[in-house]
Amino acid sequence: MPKTQYYTATSIDGYIADEHNSLDWLFETGDGREDEQGTSPFAAFFADVGAFAMGATTYEWVHDHDKLGDHPQKWREYYGDVPSWVFTHRRLPSPAGSTVNFVQGDVRPVHAAMTEAAAGRNIWIVGGGELAAAFADAGLLDEVILGVAPVTLGAGAPLLPRRLTSARLTLTGLERRGPFAYLTYSVGAPH
């Protein structure tokens, strides 16, 4: 059964980006995230993804960090032809040849379109935390997968800026990969 999954890296103190909306802190940890076969957890995860969504801040960071305006082919190198949706209230540049759809508003109709496009594969909620929380609020988030990095940021974009109690979260997986702890939680319906 396909799942809608929020798969993200987080600092020990619960931030997914620093106070400048940067992910540079994540890359300081090195390549300890690969398994014995040299496969990163992300590559293994993404192999099952049929559609994904991200917020505007995350998209802008990827676009700017990887200079997609100058190198639009990088989008396809990272994500292939997997359809994507970016939630935004403003006009953003789209990498040439990408499958990016810009949307706003209620996550429910977008989730329905993503489910159809995913054709039986999983849906990935990239981030940020507010977008993942909107899917959780709508009862459309099945799983949270956290790669906890050995760093504290002290401030920044919160992992999930909502109160989700243990009544909705059940730990279903725990794994160590290099310096990262991977925690997987199933997410129950809102009460």
Q: What's the distance, Cα to Cα, between the start and end of the chain in Å?
A: 23
Spacing of C-alpha 40 from chain mean position: 15
The pLDDT assigned to 164 comes to 92
pLDDT mean over 156-169: 94
E strands, the chain, in order: 4-11, 15-17, 49-55, 84-87, 100-103, 122-127, 143-149, 157-158, 169-177, 180-187
Q: Please give the CATH architecture assigned to the domain spanning 4-187.
A: 3-Layer(aba) Sandwich (3.40)
Confidence at residue 30, expressed as pLDDT on a 0 to 100 scale: 61
Q: Which of these, 48, 65, 56, 29, lies nearest to 145 by C-alpha position?
A: 48
Residue-wise DSSP of 22-49: --HHHHTTTTTT--TTS--HHHHHHTTE
pTM of the predicted model, to two decimals? Answer: 0.93
**pLDDT 10s digits, 40-96:** 788 889 999 999 999 999 999 999 988 998 999 999 999 999 999 999 999 999 988
Residue spans per domain, the chain: 4-187
Using alpha carbons only, give the angle 153, 77, 140 rounded to the nearest 5 degrees. 60
